[in-house]
């Protein structure tokens, strides 16, 4: 198994305040990983570091064995796509026009979209099922629709690794399940995924492994059933095991989903 | 998976306002309109020169009278071409600044870059009148420097964490504009050649499109064309920038570098416009907005349409300005303030409701 993303002793400080330090992990190709941790621990920061959007203060971030800081921005954008939580578009772009922006890292200064770019855009639209929204104005979409379009934008970059920042946030339960279905389908189609997740009950059955960032502890990496244990979560999230919902059902139910 | 059965759209671009395949037709149509408007405008004025006489002179070599010839080639044509250049430059600059600030209210006048250009030009006129670069007066160059400095200042002030709120943008632009216009009055005191400089300054502040010499017109036209050539690669980048700084960076853009190139090119366009017409407000606001309503927000298609439509718009308004109160003339800047002010207020109301930026 080749690794797509490696953190080697990565530290990050912002305005003199250390967000985290000495983070090590490896993300093998084909995985679907949930990144969890309490609010403010730096989940989004970790994703930004992985996407090369922030420079780390110490250590190295490797994308397929190459240091992200030595790559040109355009090269990074062909390897990693990040789906941020917020996007505000001041003009009335259609969904298709938004997704076309995913080809930016492949276009020259003067070139337009080539047939290969069109194909990538169509593939992204198919994979996320947003064809019927193609000509709608992006700003007028519902939260769930927007989330799918943002993922299509990321897929149009044809990245090796897709980073999702809280993809299920602000969605109702139906849209959350739809989105998890989509994530599962993408992963089944060979897209490696690292998603910062807030809703712990959604993790088991939908992600192949979990990264837990917790205060004053080294990063913990493991299968959902090994990480989502009441004792571990108590330390990380500072909440008593008795108040936690049952997060790992495999102990109760025989068949583990997927 | 999807509960809703996707409704298949058969027409390739049904939801878009004007399909990309029609952009050539739209541009050709607009160029035709521009030509027609210029011809009509030449015919109009205190002395009427009928279009038949002009066409006759061109097609059948029937010479115009000397008076007609002088009016056409020394007075009207230079002025009309100047109006076309000013309109195209201001509209294109407006489009660039709206993309830069991600705000449909940005306009070279509103954000103070026109004012900066006037101040720069004044420094050239009052303080360094003997300075020249390659034989040209340094006025246009200093106008460029003034515009550039102002936008850099407004950009620094108004952008907080990659976002520009309407209120800060307008207030920063207002403060800078006010400082600049009053500094222009201060410079009058330094006027050695009492009278000439003051008259030029007065016409700049009112937005009068003067009657340029052909050489002057050529210099500004070259300046405009260079700037416009740089706009073309920038236009695609503006679409990506519309998604916000983080997305633009994520998609592989060096956001700082793109912003700097927009500021430089936008300042060049503003300076070109100010050198010919002084402070003309709101053109860069109205024209891109109308173009966006027809063409949709894709900047690559908007750019040529906005520039040509801007030229048409200003040729028409300048012709109105010089004929409406004939025999006296009104500065086109005054007319634009009458038209643009209410339009700006309408846009402000709409923007605050729709974009909540």
Domain ranges of chain A: 3-87+159-251
Closest-CA residue of B relative to A130 is: B6
Compute the distance between CA of residue A47 and CA of residue A23 in angstroms, rounded to an integer.
13
- The contacts of residue A255 (CB under 8 Å, 6+ apart) are none
Domain assignment present for residue B60? The answer is: no
Residue B290 lies in a domain: yes
Q: In the predicted model, what is the mean pLDDT of residues B209-233?
A: 89
CA distances (Å), origin B28, targets A181, B33, B293, B296: 49, 9, 19, 18
Average pLDDT on B332-351 reads 83
B134-138, B140-144, B160-164, B215-219: the lowest-pLDDT one: B134-138
Using a CB-CB distance cutoff of 8 angstroms, which residues of chain A are in contact with residue B298? 93, 97
Q: Which residues of B touch A132 (CB under 8 A)?
A: 4, 6-9
Tell me the pLDDT of chain B averaged across its residues.
Answer: 81
| Helix axes B77-101 and B214-241, enclosed angle (nearest 10) | 20
What residues contact B142, with CB distance under 8 A and at least 6 apart? B120, B121, B123, B124, B128
Give me the torsion for CA of B28, B303, B115, B259, rounded to 10°: -160
Range in A174-188, B180-194, B320-334 with the lowest mean pLDDT:
B180-194
Confidence of residue B1 (pLDDT cuts 50, 70, 90): very low
pLDDT greater than 60 at residue B280: yes
**CA angle (B122, B123, B124) in 5-degree steps:** 85
Contact list, B97 vs chain A (CB under 8 Å)? none
Distance from CA of B2 to the nearest CA of A (A): 8
Does the beta-carbon distance from B8 to A132 stay under 8 Å? yes
Distance from CA of B26 to the nearest CA of A (A): 19
Domain A3-87+159-251 top-level CATH class: alpha beta
User: What gap in Å lies between CA B21 and CA B17, rounded to an integer?
Assistant: 12
Q: With cut-offs at 50, 70 and 90, classify the pLDDT of residue B206.
A: confident
List C-alpha distances in Å: B82 to A202, B28, B208: 64, 21, 11
Of A104, A136, A185, the CB nearest to B251: A104
Inspect the interface and report whether the beta carbons of A84 and B246 lie closer than 8 Å.
yes
Rounded Cα gap, residues A86 and A42, in angstroms: 17
Which H/E stretch holds residue A180? helix A173-188
Is B336 a residue whose pLDDT tops 50? yes
Most confident of A239-243, B185-189, B209-213: B209-213
Which 3 state secondary structure label does DSSP give A21? strand
Choose between B204 and A73: higher pLDDT.
A73
- How close is the nearest chain A Cα to the Cα of B232, in Å? 8
**What does each C-alpha distance from A29 to A52, A160, A190, B350 come to in angstroms?**
18, 8, 8, 48
List phi, psi (to 5°) of B244: 105, 160
Q: Within a domain: residue B300?
A: yes
Do the beta carbons of residue B163 and residue B242 sit within 8 Å? no
pLDDT value for A197: 92
- β-strand pairing of A32-36 with A192-196: parallel
**Does the beta-carbon distance from B9 to A134 stay under 8 Å?**
yes
Q: Flag whether B37 is in a domain.
A: no
pLDDT value of position B265: 95
pLDDT tier, B11 (very low <50, low <70, confident <90, very high otherwise): very low
Q: Minimal CA–CA distance to A161: which of B235, B333, B250?
A: B250
> A193 has which bridge partners?
A32, A162
State the residue for tokens 């030509």: B35
Contact state of B104 with A90 under an 8 Å Cβ cutoff: yes
Best of B243, B296, B297, B303 to disrupt the A interface (most A CBs within 10 Å) is: B243
Contact B4 A132 (CB under 8 A): yes
The whole-number pLDDT of residue A106 equals 92
The residue of B9, B239, B247 whose CB has the most chain A CBs within 10 angstroms, and thus the best one to mutate to test that interface, is: B247
Burial B79-101 (b: 16+ CB within 10 A, else e): bbbbbbbbbbbbbbbbbbbbbbb
Mean pLDDT of B171-186: 78
State yes or no: cis peptide before B149, omega within 30 of 0.
no
Chain B, window 302-331: residues with a beta carbon less than 8 angstroms from a chain A beta carbon: none
Work out the average pLDDT over B253-261: 90
Residue A66 has pLDDT above 70, yes or no: yes
Q: What is the mean pLDDT of residues A60-88?
A: 90
Most B CBs within 10 Å, among A90, A97, A117, to test the B interface:
A90
Chain A nearest-CA distance from B18, in A, is 12
Contact B298 A93 (CB under 8 A): yes
Distance CA B26, CA B34 (A): 12
Tally of CB atoms within 10 A around B333: 27
Pairwise CA distance, residues A163 & A195, whole Å: 6
Phi, psi angle pair for A50, to nearest 5°: -65, -30
Q: How far apart are the C-alpha atoms of B89 and B48, rounded to whole Å? A: 29
- Residue B60's pLDDT is 67
Inter-chain residue contact A91 with B242, CB threshold 8 Å? yes
Shortest CB distance from B252 goes to which of A73, A91, A182? A73
Q: What is the pLDDT of residues B79-109, one digit of tens each?
A: 999 999 999 999 999 999 999 888 888 888 8
CA proximity to B148, closest of B255, B232, B254, B269: B269
Residue to mutate among B250, B298, B355, with most A CBs inside 10 A, is B250
Mean pLDDT of A177-191: 90
Residue A40 and residue A92: Cα distance in Å, rounded? 33
Q: How confident is the model at residue B14 (pLDDT cuts 50, 70, 90)?
A: very low
- Give the nearest chain B residue to A72 (CA atoms): B252
| Record: contact B243-A97, CB cut-off 8 A | no
Contact B120, B127 (CB under 8 A): no
On chain B, the residues whose CB falls within 8 A of the CB of A91 are 104, 242, 292, 297
Of all residues in chain B, the one with the smallest CA distance to A48 is: B250
Nearest to B164 by CA among B229, B86, B100: B100
Query: Minimal CA–CA distance to B143: which of B269, B304, B3?
Result: B269
Give residue B170's pLDDT: 79
In angstroms, rounded to a whole number, what is the distance separating the alpha carbons of residues B259 and B262? 5
Which of A51, A93, A97 lies nearest to residue B250, judging by beta carbons? A51
pLDDT for B6: 39
Using alpha carbons, list the distances in angstroms from residue A109 to A105, B93, B258, B261, B276: 10, 20, 11, 13, 31
Q: Which of residues 246-305 of B touch A (CB under 8 A)?
A: 246-247, 249-254, 292, 296-298
Helices of type H across B278-331: 283-295, 299-323
pLDDT at A154: 94
For the residues of B23-62, what is the DSSP string, one character each?
HHHHHHHHHHHHHHHHHHHHH-SSS---HHHHHHHHHS--
- Taking a C-beta distance cutoff of 8 angstroms, is the pair B162, B245 a contact? yes
**What tens digit of pLDDT does each residue of B344-355 get?**
888 877 766 555
pLDDT of residue B8: 37
Residues of A within 8 A of B13 (CB-CB) are 135
Comparing alpha-carbon positions, the chain B residue that sits nearest to A111 is: B233
In this structure, what is the dihedral angle of CA atoms A12, A16, A17, A21, given to the nearest 10 degrees?
A: 30
When computed from its CA atoms, the radius of gyration of chain A, rounded to whole angstroms, is: 19
Instruction: State percent of chain A over pLDDT 90.
Output: 45
Q: What is the number of helices (H) and of strands (E) in chain A?
A: 8, 10
The whole-number average pLDDT for the span B66-70 is 78
Distance, in Å, from the CA atom of B271 to the CA atom of B145, rounded to the nearest integer, reads: 8
Residue A48 has pLDDT above 70, yes or no: yes
ipTM beyond cut 0.90: no
| Percentage of chain B exceeding pLDDT 70 | 84
Residue closest to B266 by CA, chosen among B81, B23, B101, B80: B101
| Closest approach of A129 to chain B, Cα-based (Å) | 8
- Between strands A58-63 and A66-67, the pairing is antiparallel
User: How crowded is residue A222: how many other Cβ atoms within 10 Å of its Cβ?
Assistant: 14
B3, pLDDT greater than 60? no
Tell me how far CA of residue A161 lies from CA of A22, A53, A65, A176, B250, in angstroms.
22, 15, 14, 21, 13
Phi-psi region of B32 (alpha: psi -120 to 50; beta: other; left: phi over 0): alpha
> Does B193 map to a domain?
yes
Domain total of chain B: 1
Q: Using DSSP, how many helices (H) and how many strands (E) does chain B show?
A: 14, 4
Given a cut of 50, is residue B357 above it in pLDDT? no
Do the chains contact at B15 and A134, CB–CB below 8 Å?
A: yes
Model pLDDT for residues B124-147, shown as the tens digit of each residue: 777 776 666 655 567 778 888 888
CB spacing of A90 vs B242 below 8 angstroms? yes
pTM, two decimals, is 0.87
Inter-chain contact B250–A178, Cβ cutoff 8 Å? Answer: no
CA angle, corner B280, sides to B199 and B266, nearest 5? 115
The CATH number linked to B314 is 1.10.3470.10
Calpha distance B173→B114 (Å, rounded): 10
| Inside any domain, residue B211 | yes
**C-beta separation of B140 from B268 below 8 A:** no
The residue in chain A having the minimum alpha-carbon distance to the alpha carbon of residue B240 is A101
Smallest Cα distance from B155 to chain A, Å: 17
Cross-chain Cβ contact A101/B243 below 8 Å: yes
Range of the domain at B319: 77-352
């Amino acid at each position: 198994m080749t690794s797509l993303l490696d953190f080697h002793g990565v530290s990050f400080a912002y305005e003199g305040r250390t967000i985290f330090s000495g983070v090590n992990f490896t993300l093998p190709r084909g995985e679907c990983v949930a990144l969890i941790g309490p609010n403010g621990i730096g989940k989004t920061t970790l994703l930004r570091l992985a996407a090369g959007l922030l420079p780390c203060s110490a250590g190295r971030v490797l994308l397929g064995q190459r240091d992200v800081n030595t790559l040109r921005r355009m090269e990074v954008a062909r390897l990693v796509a990040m789906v941020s939580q917020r996007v505000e578009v001041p003009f009335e772009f259609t969904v298709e026009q938004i997704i076309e922006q995913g080809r930016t890292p492949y276009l020259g200064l003067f070139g337009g979209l080539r047939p290969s770019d069109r194909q990538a855009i169509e593939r992204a639209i198919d994979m996320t099922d947003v064809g019927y929204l193609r000509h709608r104005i992006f700003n007028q979409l519902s939260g769930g629709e927007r989330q799918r379009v943002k993922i299509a934008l990321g897929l149009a970059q044809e990245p090796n690794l897709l980073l999702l920042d809280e993809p299920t946030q602000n969605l109702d339960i139906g849209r959350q399940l739809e989105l998890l279905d989509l994530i599962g389908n993408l992963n089944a189609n060979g897209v490696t995924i690292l998603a910062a997740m807030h809703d712990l009950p959604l993790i088991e059955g939908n992600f192949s492994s979990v990264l837990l960032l917790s205060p004053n502890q080294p990063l913990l990496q493991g299968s959902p059933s090994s990480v989502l244990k009441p004792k571990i979560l108590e330390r990380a999230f500072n909440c008593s095991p008795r108040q936690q919902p049952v997060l790992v059902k495999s102990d109760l139910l025989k068949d583990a989903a997927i | 998976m999807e509960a809703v059965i996707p409704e298949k759209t058969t027409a390739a671009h049904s939801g878009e306002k004007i399909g990309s395949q029609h952009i050539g037709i739209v541009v050709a149509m607009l160029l035709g309109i521009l030509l027609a408007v210029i011809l009509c405008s030449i015919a109009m004025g205190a002395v009427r020169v009928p279009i038949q006489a002009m066409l006759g002179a061109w097609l059948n070599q029937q010479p115009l009278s000397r008076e007609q010839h002088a009016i056409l080639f020394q007075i009207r044509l230079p002025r009309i071409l100047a109006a076309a250049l000013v309109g195209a430059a201001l509209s294109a600059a407006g489009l660039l600044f709206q993309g830069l600030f991600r705000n449909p209210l940005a306009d070279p006048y509103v954000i103070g870059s026109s004012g900066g250009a006037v101040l720069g030009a004044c420094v050239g006129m009052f303080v360094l009148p003997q300075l020249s670069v390659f034989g040209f007066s340094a006025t246009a160059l200093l106008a460029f420097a003034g515009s550039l400095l102002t936008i850099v200042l407004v950009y620094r002030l108004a952008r907080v964490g990659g976002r520009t709120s309407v209120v800060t943008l307008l207030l920063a632009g207002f403060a800078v504009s006010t400082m600049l216009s009053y500094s222009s009055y201060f410079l009058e005191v330094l006027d050695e050649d009492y009278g000439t400089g003051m008259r030029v300054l007065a016409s700049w502040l009112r937005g009068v499109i003067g009657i340029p010499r052909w050489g002057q017109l050529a210099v500004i036209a070259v300046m405009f064309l260079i700037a416009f050539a740089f706009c073309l690669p920038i236009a695609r980048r503006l679409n990506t920038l519309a998604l916000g700084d983080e997305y633009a960076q994520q998609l592989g853009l060096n956001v700082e570098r793109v912003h700097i190139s927009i500021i430089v090119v936008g300042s060049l366009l503003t300076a070109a416009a100010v050198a010919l017409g002084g402070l003309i407000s709101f053109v860069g606001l109205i024209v891109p907005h109308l173009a966006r309503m027809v063409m949709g927000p894709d900047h690559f298609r908007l750019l040529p349409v906005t520039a040509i439509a801007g030229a048409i718009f200003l040729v028409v308004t300048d012709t109105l300005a010089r004929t409406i109160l004939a025999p006296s003339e009104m500065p086109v800047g005054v007319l634009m303030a009458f038209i643009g002010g209410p339009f700006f207020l309408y846009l402000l109301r709409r923007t605050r409701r729709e974009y909540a930026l």
